[in-house]
Amino acid sequence: MSPGTPPPSYPIDDRVREALAISRRGCDELLPEADWTAKLARSAATGVPLRIKLGLDPTAPDIHLGHTVVLNKMRQLQDLGHTVIFLIGDFTSMIGDPSGRNTTRPPLTREQIEANAQTYYRQASLVLDPDRTEIRYNSEWSDPLGARGMIQLAARYTVARMMERNDFAERFKAGTPISVHEFLYPLMQGYDSVALKSDLELGGTDQKFNLLVGRALQAEYGQEPQCILTMPLLEGLDGVEKMSKSKGNYIGITEPANTMFAKLLSISDTLMWKYFTLLSFRSEAEIAKLKAEVEAGRNPKEAKVLLAKEITARFHSAAAADAAEADFENRARGGIPDEIPELTLSGAPLGLGALLKQAGLAPSSSEALRLVDGGGVRIDGTVVGDKGLKLPAGTYVVQVGKRKFARVTLN
- Which spans in 316-351 are helix H? 318-332
Enumerate residues 6+ apart whose C-beta is below 8 A from 110: 94
Q: Are 243 and 234 in contact (CB under 8 A)?
A: yes
- CATH 3.10.290.10 holds for 342-410: yes
DSSP 233: P
Residue 102 is predicted with a pLDDT of 45
Domain 257-332 superfamily per CATH: Tyrosyl-Transfer RNA Synthetase (1.10.240.10)
CATH 1.10.240.10 domain position(s) in the chain: 257-332
Q: Indicate the helix (H) or strand (E) that contains 14.
A: helix 14-24
Please state the CATH superfamily assignment of the domain spanning residues 14-231 in this structure.
HUPs (3.40.50.620)
**Spatial CB neighbours of 150, under 8 Å, sequence gap ≥ 6:** 184
pLDDT recorded at residue 343: 84
Sequence ranges of the chain with CATH classification 3.40.50.620: 14-231
Per the CB < 8 A criterion, the answer to whether 330 and 346 are in contact is no
| pLDDT for the residue numbered 99 | 55
Instruction: Give the integer Cα–Cα distance in Å for 401 and 141.
Output: 54
Residue 168 corresponds to which amino acid?
F
Distances (CA, A) of 112 to 241, 315, 366: 26, 26, 39
Residue type, 33: E
Residues 98 and 104: their CA atoms lie apart, in Å, by 7
Nearest to 19 by CA among 229, 279, 286: 229
Cis peptide before 349 (omega within 30 of 0): yes
Cβ(186)–Cβ(165) below 8 Å:
yes
**158 CB burial (10 A radius; 0-12, 13-18, 19+):** exposed
Over its C-alpha atoms, the chain yields an Rg (Å, rounded) of: 26
d(CA 65, CA 72): 10
DSSP 252: B
Q: What is the pLDDT of residue 106?
A: 62
Is the alpha carbon torsion for 114, 118, 123, 125 positive or negative? positive
Q: Which helix (H) or strand (E) holds 383?
A: strand 382-383
Burial of 411 (0-12, 13-18, 19+ CB in 10 A): exposed
Pair 237, 263: CB distance under 8 Å: yes
| Pairing mode, strands 404-410 and 342-345 | parallel
* Contact predicate 75/127, CB 8 Å: yes
User: pLDDT (tens digit, 0 to 9) for every residue of the chain, 411 residues total?
Assistant: 455 555 568 999 999 999 999 999 999 999 999 999 999 999 999 999 999 999 988 776 778 999 999 999 999 999 999 999 999 888 887 776 655 554 555 666 778 777 787 788 888 888 999 889 998 999 999 999 988 988 898 888 888 788 877 778 788 788 888 888 788 888 999 999 999 999 999 999 988 999 999 999 999 999 999 999 999 999 998 888 999 877 888 999 999 998 899 999 999 999 999 999 999 999 999 999 999 999 999 999 999 999 999 999 999 999 999 999 988 888 777 677 767 788 888 887 888 888 888 888 888 888 878 888 777 788 876 777 778 788 777 677 888 877 788 888 888
- H helices present in 298-400, as ranges: 300-315, 318-332, 352-358, 365-373
- Range list for CATH 3.10.290.10 in the chain: 342-410
Q: What is the DSSP code (8-state) at residue 391?
A: E
Nearest residue to 322 via CA among 305, 334, 335: 305
What's the CA gap between 307 and 410, in Å, rounded?
Answer: 41
